[in-house]
């Protein structure tokens, strides 16, 4: 049996629209696959994993990272790799990687306790944004318009469970033109991009942002390519914010990107390109 005859593992727990579409595309191409439910899969001595490779769509970051590391340990190539998950799963680590590569990130500050941030925020400048380093869908991302809001939010952050919530990652608030950009970059190539527009300060689709097609200009394309180069070879959803002068900043990089909004507006076959990329990397 050649490795091509082995099934592809698809790591997931909840099957949302994205996963349904990817599984349907694999079916359509008659690519054999096994759905590995990350909640019940057992790893360890005596547990062999005979797969052609794996596509990971687990929604929970920690479980995603561990499942991927465990499969890689068993010799399975996973898209995205644990190295990408490790960086992109943490917004601060992503920023460090991008800044080290000389890319335009949003001016930031970090303290390792919430109370450490309060006395220096006035100097940093309001409005500012504080957000969990691990998280998504805009959850718990807070805009701080001044000292009173900062004091309240930081006190609440301090009461959140888990040591990671003490890490206090602050960004300058970018006065966006009512929209943000999400670009889908696969293997370094920009496959498509959308704007998400909203009157809210959090313009992401999960918060009601309306998707529309974005045709990247040269500056944006260069930034996307360089971002992917810094992060690694994989399927990436790159969040870019523009300020009122038109300057671009990379906000974060999603390692297991959602694309339901993009499917509504993009002409490109995002799902097909996603599967093409995975198959090209797993051999």
Ligand X SMILES: Nc1ncnc2c1ncn2[C@@H]1O[C@H](COP(=O)(O)OP(=O)(O)O)[C@@H](O)[C@H]1O
How far apart are alpha carbons 253 and 17 in whole angstroms?
20
Query: Is residue 228 a contact partner of residue 87, using CB atoms and an 8 Å limit?
Result: no
In this complex, which beta carbon is closest to Mg ion, that of residue 18 or of residue 239?
Answer: 239
| Binding positions for ligand X, 185-244, rule CB under 6 A | 201-204, 239, 241
| Binding positions for ligand X, 138-167, rule CB under 6 A | 138-139, 141
Query: Is residue 98 a contact partner of residue 246, using CB atoms and an 8 Å limit?
Result: no
In this complex, which beta carbon is closest to ligand X, that of residue 71 or of residue 193?
Answer: 193
Using the rule CB under 6 A, is 59 a contact of ligand X? Answer: no
CA 92 to chain centre: 12
In this complex, which beta carbon is closest to ligand X, that of residue 47 or of residue 139?
Answer: 139
Q: Which of ligand X, Mg ion, none interacts with 106 (beta carbon under 5 to 8 A by kind)?
A: ligand X
Q: How far is the CB of 204 from Mg ion (least distance, A)?
A: 5
In degrees rounded to 5, what are phi and psi of residue 256? -130, 70
- Cis before 80? omega within 30: yes
Q: Which of ligand X, Mg ion, none interacts with 135 (beta carbon under 5 to 8 A by kind)?
A: ligand X
Q: How far is the CB of 272 from ligand X (least distance, A)?
A: 25
In this complex, which beta carbon is closest to ligand X, that of residue 72 or of residue 172?
Answer: 172
- Cis before 127? omega within 30: yes
Q: How far is the CB of 254 from Mg ion (least distance, A)?
A: 6
Q: How far is the CB of 44 from ligand X (least distance, A)?
A: 32
Q: Calculate helix-pair angle for 114-124, 147-159, nearest 10 degrees.
A: 160
Query: Is residue 17 a contact partner of residue 63, using CB atoms and an 8 Å limit?
Result: no
DSSP string, 132-196: -SS--TTTT-EEE-SHHHHHHHHHHHHHSSSGGGG-EEEEEPP--SSEEEEEEEETTEEEEEEEE
Using the rule CB under 5 A, is 239 a contact of Mg ion? Answer: yes
For ligand X, what does the binding mask look like between residues 81 and 110, x meaning CB under 6 A?
-------------------------x----
Residues that bind Mg ion (CB under 5 A): 239
Name the residues that contact ligand X, by CB under 6 A: 106, 129, 131, 135-139, 141, 171, 173-174, 176, 180, 201-204, 239, 241, 251-252
């Amino acid at each position: 049996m050649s490795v091509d005859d082995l099934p592809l593992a698809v790591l997931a727990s909840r099957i949302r629209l994205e996963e349904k579409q990817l599984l349907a595309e694999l079916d359509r191409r008659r690519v054999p696959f096994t759905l590995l439910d990350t909640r019940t899969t057992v790893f360890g001595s005596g547990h062999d994993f005979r797969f052609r490779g794996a596509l990971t769509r687990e929604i929970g970051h920690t479980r995603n990272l561990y499942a991927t590391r465990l499969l890689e340990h068993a010799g399975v190539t996973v898209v995205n790799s644990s190295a990408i998950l490790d960086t992109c799963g943490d917004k601060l680590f992503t920023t460090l990687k991008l800044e080290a590569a000389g890319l335009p990130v949003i001016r930031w500050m970090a303290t390792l306790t919430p109370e450490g941030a309060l006395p220096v925020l006035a100097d940093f400048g309001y409005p500012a944004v504080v957000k969990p380093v691990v998280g998504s869908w805009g959850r718990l991302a807070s805009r701080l318009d001044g000292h009173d809001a900062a004091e309240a939010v930081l006190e609440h952050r301090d009461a959140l469970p888990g040591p990671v919530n003490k890490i206090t990652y602050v960004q300058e608030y970018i006065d966006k033109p009512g929209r943000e950009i999400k670009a889908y970059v696969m293997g370094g190539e920009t496959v498509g991009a959308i704007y998400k527009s909203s009157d809210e300060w959090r313009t992401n689709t999960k918060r009601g942002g309306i998707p529309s097609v974005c045709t990247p200009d040269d500056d944006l394309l260069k930034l996307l390519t360089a971002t992917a180069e810094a992060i690694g070879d994989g399927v990436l959803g790159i969040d870019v914010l523009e300020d009122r002068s038109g300057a671009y900043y990379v906000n974060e990089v999603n390692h297991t990107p959602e694309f339901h909004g993009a499917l509504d507006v993009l002409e490109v076959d995002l799902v097909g390109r996603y599967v093409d990329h995975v198959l090209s990397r797993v051999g």
